């Protein structure tokens, strides 16, 4: 599969502690009809456990994506957002019950997030991406989160990991280098408007 078509299914495969795989979903968004209309202004979008502002000009493709993606081992698609249907740029938020994490039994939440980031870095490097860069601790609506960036041949990837209630949340942001600056602003607006629904 070409680098530009890589998707978070591969990320999930190497997060062995999740015990999860995504199967049969193809390129996220590729199946969406061309009749979708972008949001003319920011608007609230909601998924399981999370609400955020959809950036102006972006599409909320959460329902079509969730209906096609087959998420195993309790992995749930929360929100799937794109600036254009079928493109390579997207923000995909997934969640999984903490019971799927080995470290959850001892409540080592910080260790859980560190391990998720480590596995993400290992897989990114095996596919030619450089990083992690810009590693930082952050917050999503009051919950501690970890963030890291990776630079690939034609795109930039960012992962955010956080824990809320009885679930871990994984945020995948992928953007072509040519659209990285404008899409990073959209990603930041989604993250800063993030609110918990449970």
Residue 184 has pLDDT above 90, yes or no: yes
Indicate if the pLDDT at residue 26 is higher than 50. no
pLDDT tier, 198 (very low <50, low <70, confident <90, very high otherwise): low
Q: Where are the domains of the chain?
A: 1-21+95-198
Architecture of domain 1-21+95-198: 3-Layer(aba) Sandwich (3.40)
pLDDT band at 17 (very low <50, low <70, confident <90, very high): very low
Task: Kindly tell me if the per-residue pLDDT of 65 is higher than 70.
Answer: no
pLDDT digits 0-9 by tens, 138-177: 999 999 999 999 999 999 999 998 989 888 898 999 999 9
d(CA 141, CA 60): 21
Contact predicate 163/174, CB 8 Å: no
Using one digit for the tens of pLDDT, what is the confidence trace for 101-143?
666 555 556 666 776 777 777 777 888 889 888 889 999 999 9
- pTM recorded for the entire structure: 0.78
């Amino acid at each position: 599969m070409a680098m530009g078509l890589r998707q978070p299914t591969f990320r999930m495969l190497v997060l062995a502690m999740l015990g999860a795989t995504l199967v049969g979903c193809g390129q996220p968004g590729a199946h969406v009809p061309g009749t979708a209309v972008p949001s003319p202004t920011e608007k609230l979008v909601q998924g399981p456990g999370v609400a955020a502002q959809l950036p102006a000009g972006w599409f909320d493709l959460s329902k079509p994506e969730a209906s096609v993606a087959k998420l195993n081992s309790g992995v749930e698609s929360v929100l799937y957002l794109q600036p254009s249907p079928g493109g390579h740029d997207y923000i995909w938020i997934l969640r999984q019950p903490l019971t799927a994490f080995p470290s959850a039994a001892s409540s080592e939440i910080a260790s859980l997030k560190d391990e998720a980031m480590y596995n993400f870095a290992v897989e990114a490097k095996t596919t030619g991406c450089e990083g992690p860069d810009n590693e930082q601790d952050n917050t999503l609506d009051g919950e501690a989160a970890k963030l890291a960036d990776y630079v690939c041949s034609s795109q930039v990837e960012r992962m955010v990991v956080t824990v809320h209630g009885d679930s871990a949340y994984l945020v995948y942001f992928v953007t072509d280098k040519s659209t990285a600056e404008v899409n990073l602003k959209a990603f930041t607006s989604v993250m800063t408007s993030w609110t918990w629904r449970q």
